[in-house]
């Protein structure tokens, strides 16, 4: 069977873990965490980067930083991972879902302004599949209505909008290094602080509400409880793994690009004949090839294709159940209709995409998809 995803070691992961033990420093904020923070700051160009225990926790930290409160509203797509909405709900605020664009499955920027009220506090663009939302327009709306922009760039590490890396365009950006993402530390993430006013407080919130980071830098002579907070810092064991992955950033990116192009080439005749639609990358965006998906005709066709692929030894999967159609949303909020979100989410299939996926396997997957459509 060809799995949907697979973990790869790139050389130094295990060495670095041993090094952390040899140095007798495996809890957070040692030299591996610092290396990764510095790497993110210089490579992606942000004022402050801090590793977190997950992408989910980076989002939750962002909500604490903007002081999101009960009754506040945040605008986001319904076609996203639960963590994007939970971060809002956990502060007692209200997620306001907006429909997506057909070409990128990202939030439709032309629908955002109509969803702004005097309770709106922030916009949450989610860069689906590592392809950027239309950030110029989103920034314009945010500026006009005095809103924060928090990027859920969990899938967008090393992808760009114009000349900027995703995660560096909003006030705050959130990355994930979960094993399903391009660069993995098992579980983990990072918060990118692009708006200087949040830098000091981000360090405090991440260190259980204490000024311990300042203490370790020798800026103060004792540390104490100064604000709310939690434990958002990952262990050095995880950071050691991420360092080895970052050292291979281009190697990983180049291979993913090759796989993406191979799928695109191999399946484009099926798109031309109208059987399927393929991912679209707008001209001002550079994708990180996080995902390769196919849009089928409808739910029934998708179910048959997944089954057909399974029978030829290929694990393909669908993606999000839109959040406004979830059990939790129905119990707590009024019914919503988001036509494109509802249709596209039922038509999409994700094909295997990981570093060690061989060309032979990609060709087999392409052939299987083509056979499915020629035989039906």
Candidate segments 52-60, 215-223, 224-232, 333-341, binder of ligand PLP by CB under 6 A: 52-60
Binding of residue 151 to ligand PLP (CB under 6 A): no
Q: Is 245 in the site for ligand PLP (CB under 6 A)?
A: no
| Helical axes 359-375 vs 249-272, angle rounded to 10° | 20
- Indicate the burial class of 117 (C-beta count within 10 angstroms; 0-12, 13-18, 19 or more): exposed
Residue among 180 and 257 whose Cβ is closer to ligand PLP: 180
Alpha carbon distances (Å) from 247 to 40, 68, 185, 334: 12, 36, 13, 47
For ligand PLP, which residue has the nearest CB?
55
- Cα–Cα distance list, 96 to 104, 329, 337 (Å): 20, 11, 12
Residues from 8 through 37 that contact ligand PLP (CB under 6 A): none
Size of the site for ligand PLP (CB under 6 A): 14
Restricted to residues 101-140, the positions that interact with ligand PLP (CB under 6 A) are 126
Residue of 46, 132, 176, 253 interacting with ligand PLP (CB under 6 A): 176
Which of 16, 44, 81, 372 binds ligand PLP (CB under 6 A)? It is: 81
Q: From the list 85, 154, 166, 289, which residue makes contact with ligand PLP (rule: CB under 6 A)?
A: 154
155: contact with ligand PLP by CB under 6 A: yes
Q: What is the DSSP string of 33-102?
A: HHHHHHHHHHHHT-SEEEEES-HHHHHHHHHHHTT--TT-EEEEESSS-HHHHHHHHTTT-EEEEE-B-T
Q: Which stretch binds ligand PLP (CB under 6 A): 79-87, 165-173, 191-199, 262-270?
A: 79-87
> Which is closer to ligand PLP, CB of 51 or CB of 369?
51
The nearest distance, CB 6 to ligand PLP, in angstroms, is 17
Least CB distance to ligand PLP at residue 56 (A): 3
Query: What is the Cα–Cα distance from 320 to 328, expressed in whole angstroms?
Result: 14
CB of 132 closer than 8 Å to CB of 158:
no
**By CB under 6 A, residue 78 contacts ligand PLP:** no
Spatial distance between the Cα atoms of 127 and 160, rounded to a whole number of angstroms: 10
Closer to ligand PLP by CB, 56 or 194: give it.
56
Task: Dihedral sign for Cα 152, 156, 162, 168, please.
Answer: positive
Is 213 a residue that touches ligand PLP (CB under 6 A)? no
Q: How far apart are CA 336 and CA 290, in angstroms?
A: 29
Interacting residues toward ligand PLP by CB under 6 A: 54-56, 80-81, 83-84, 126, 152, 154-155, 176, 178, 189
């Amino acid at each position: 069977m060809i799995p949907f995803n697979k973990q790869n070691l790139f050389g130094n992961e295990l060495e670095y873990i041993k090094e952390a033990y040899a140095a007798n420093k495996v809890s957070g904020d040692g030299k591996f965490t610092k290396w990764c923070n510095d790497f993110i700051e210089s490579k992606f160009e942000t004022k402050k980067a801090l590793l977190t225990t997950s992408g989910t926790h980076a989002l939750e930290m962002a909500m604490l930083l903007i002081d999101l409160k009960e009754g506040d509203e945040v605008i986001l797509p319904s076609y996203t991972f639960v963590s994007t909405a939970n971060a809002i709900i956990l502060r007692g605020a209200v997620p306001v879902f907006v429909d997506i664009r057909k070409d990128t499955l990202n939030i439709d920027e032309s629908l955002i302004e109509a969803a702004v009220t005097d309770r709106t506090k922030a916009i949450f663009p989610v860069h689906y599949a590592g392809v950027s939302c239309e950030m110029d327009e989103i920034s314009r709306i945010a500026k006009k209505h005095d809103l924060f922009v928090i990027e859920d760039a969990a899938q967008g590490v090393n992808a760009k909008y114009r000349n900027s890396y995703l995660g560096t365009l909003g006030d705050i950006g959130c990355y994930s290094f979960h094993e399903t993402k391009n660069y993995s530390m098992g579980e983990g993430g990072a918060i990118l602080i692009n708006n200087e006013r949040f830098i000091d407080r981000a360090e405090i919130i991440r260190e259980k509400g204490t000024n311990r980071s300042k203490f370790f830098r020798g800026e103060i002579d004792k540390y104490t409880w100064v604000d709310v907070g939690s434990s958002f810092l990952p262990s050095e064991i995880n950071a050691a793994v991420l360092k080895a992955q970052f050292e291979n950033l281009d190697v990983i990116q180049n291979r993913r690009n090759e796989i993406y192009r191979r799928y695109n080439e191999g399946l484009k005749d099926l798109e031309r004949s109208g059987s399927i639609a393929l991912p679209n990358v707008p001209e001002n965006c550079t994708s990180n090839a996080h995902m390769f998906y196919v849009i089928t005709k409808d739910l029934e066709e998708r179910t048959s294709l997944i089954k057909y692929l399974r029978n030829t030894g290929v694990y393909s999967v669908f993606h999000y159940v839109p959040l406004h159609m979830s059990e939790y949303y129905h119990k707590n909020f009024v019914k919503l209709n988001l036509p494109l979100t509802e249709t596209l989410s039922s038509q999409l299939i994700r094909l295997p995409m990981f570093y060690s996926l061989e060309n032979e396997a990609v060709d087999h997957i392409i052939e299987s998809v083509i056979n499915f459509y020629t035989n039906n």
